[in-house]
Structure 1
Amino acid sequence: MPHRTAQPTAAGLGESPPDIATMRVTVNRLLDPDSAPEALPPAAAEVDILTARLRGHVQLLAPEVELAARELAPGSIARYSVLGCVWEATSRLEAEPCQRYGGPAGYARRLARALNALCDHYEQLSSRP
């Protein structure tokens, strides 16, 4: 994945925004299988592909959201909440699938929930004046 340097703007977000719509499609494939044309849970091979996509999306979006969060008032609840979300999402990148917690599919769903939260924060922070 090519590295791109975020250019901070007034809101703290990069000039070329991440493709949130594509990220949401990937999230929905795992968290809302009814939204996919097949309407079936993903097969094992697809879980691996979706996991790789989710990991890339989190790696792309987490720094953007963190940059925007650092523009919020120091000590504010909003700032700590967003930074906590970023920490949670990046922690998921360090984790490994575990049979106790649903194996590879469970791991992919946890990544999807973390990415979904990052997308929510990104949209909220990018709409701030």
Structure 2
Amino acid sequence: MTISPEMVEYIRTMVKGDHAANDRIEAKLDAQGWDDFPTLLGAVFYFAVNRRFGASTTAADVMVFVAEMRAAAPAGSPEIDANAAESLVRAALDPSLDLDIDPQMAGRIQGLAILHILSSPHTTDEDLDDLLANAVEAARRA
């Protein structure tokens, strides 16, 4: 598994809202290839969701989160399926759950959830660095 530094920076600039840097990194990744990016995105999603929710999370908590996430989506964002989003969040909290979600939809949900969770003013640069480092380590083991 090859997780390039550019992939990590792509996620960091996305979360930080640094659109110019994100566009530059995206162009570089378009030339290099995105082969292992879905694995990294899934790992970041897993750690972000588990950072956001505790052990006592209910189905209602997940539904409220997904509704808030969809309402806060940037203008022009692709529509995401609420049921698929709820299933994906629940599966991040309980990996024993089976999923049957279109990979493209899963990627959109993961990206939006990562933005919604990690763009919070409560996420420090150090928090983001730690989460990304954990996600890279997990993705390399996958």
TM-score category (smaller protein): 0.3 to 0.5
Higher RCO, 1 or 2 (CA under 8 Å, sep at least 6)? 2
The TM-score normalised by the length of structure 1 is 0.41
